[in-house]
Amino acid sequence: MRRHAPTITPRTRRNRIIATTAIALVAAGSVLSAPFIANASTDQAAAQRETAALSQQGALDSDHLSFYEDIAAYKAQSAAKTTIASANKVIASATSKVDASALETSVSQLADYRLLSVGRTVALTDATQAAADQTAAAVAAADAAAAAAAEAARVANTPDGARATARQLAATQYGWGDDQFQCLDSLWTKESGWNVNASNGSSGATGIPQALPGSKMASAGSDWATNAATQISWGLGYIAGSYGSPCSAWSHSQSVNWY
């Protein structure tokens, strides 16, 4: 029996054409999209590598920051320790000379530097150093003043210094002029040579005016044994009360060899 070829209708032909076209388009799309897929994969890998690198760099930066913070803390604490040591020396030198209470307070605040932040430690160290410098300057000024006073006392205790003191006191306290001072100078040159430490081995008379005993001069000051001004003050008072004037005292001394 003879088979007849199937009849292809226009509709069937059209569907076959559509199907064939679709298959071709799918194949073409696969070929064309391959490069884009490959590129996307490459970009993703690069992004992952960059992320890993940034993460590693962040860890390194964190380590560096911690290292620098440790260095800053070490320097701040070392400076605080040194400042406290030097400040305590200044406090010791200020004893009985100047008020160091402000410096003592600053040192007390800085003493806990191990528990303080770096910024607070640095600030307190600077403040303590400033207070130490100020106190040290005050101590230096006090020492200079004390040295000047000691030098003035030394000069005043020399024969020339004692004469200058006597001339001034004779004029201001008793109204005695140069004529009376000349008599006084002659009298005390004979008695002691204007030596504040003069002592008569036989009589026990002491000092510039040769007070007998020397402790009599305590009425003019507790430093009578070492201070020419105190001895002179007592001696002028003794002359005024006993003889009325230095020239009268000198005349008596010339007559009887004492006054």
What secondary structure does DSSP assign to the chain, as a single string?
-PPPPPPPPHHHHHHHHHHHHHHHHHHHHHHHHHHHHHHHHHHHHHHHHHHHHHHHHHHHHHHHHHHHHHHHHHHHHHHHHHHHHHHHHHHHHHTTTS--HHHHHHHHHHTTGGGS-HHHHHHHHHHHHHHHHHHHHHHHHHHHHHHHHHHHHHHHTSHHHHHHHHHHHHHHHH---HHHHHHHHHHHHHHTTT-TT-B-TTT--BTTTTBSSGGGGGGT-TTTTT-HHHHHHHHHHHHHHHTSSHHHHHHHHHHHS--
111 occurs within a structural domain:
yes
For residue range 92-136, list pLDDT tens digits in order: 999 999 999 999 999 999 999 999 999 999 999 999 999 999 999
Domain count, the chain: 2
The token pair at 95 is 């004893």
Q: Does residue 30 carry a pLDDT above 50? A: no
135 occurs within a structural domain:
yes
**What was the pLDDT predicted at 45?**
56
203 occurs within a structural domain:
yes
199 strand-pairing partners: 206
54 occurs within a structural domain:
no
Of 156, 183, 215, which closes a domain?
A: 156
For residue range 174-222, list pLDDT tens digits in order: 999 999 999 999 999 999 999 999 999 999 999 999 999 999 999 999 9
pTM more than 0.75: no
Of 156, 182, 211, which closes a domain?
A: 156
**What was the pLDDT predicted at 2?**
47
Q: In this structure, are 132 and 200 located in the same domain?
A: no
Q: In this structure, are 174 and 190 located in the same domain?
A: yes
Q: In this structure, are 243 and 164 located in the same domain?
A: yes
Domain residue limits at 123? 68-156
168 occurs within a structural domain:
yes
Q: Report the 10 Å Cβ neighbour count for 53.
A: 10
The token pair at 188 is 């005390």
**Cβ atoms of residues 128 and 106 within 8 Å:** yes
For residue range 45-98, list pLDDT tens digits in order: 555 565 555 555 554 456 566 888 999 999 999 999 999 999 999 999 999 999
31 occurs within a structural domain:
no
Of 131, 156, 181, which closes a domain?
A: 156
**What was the pLDDT predicted at 51?**
57
Q: In this structure, are 152 and 163 located in the same domain?
A: no
19 occurs within a structural domain:
no
Q: In this structure, are 243 and 180 located in the same domain?
A: yes
204 occurs within a structural domain:
yes
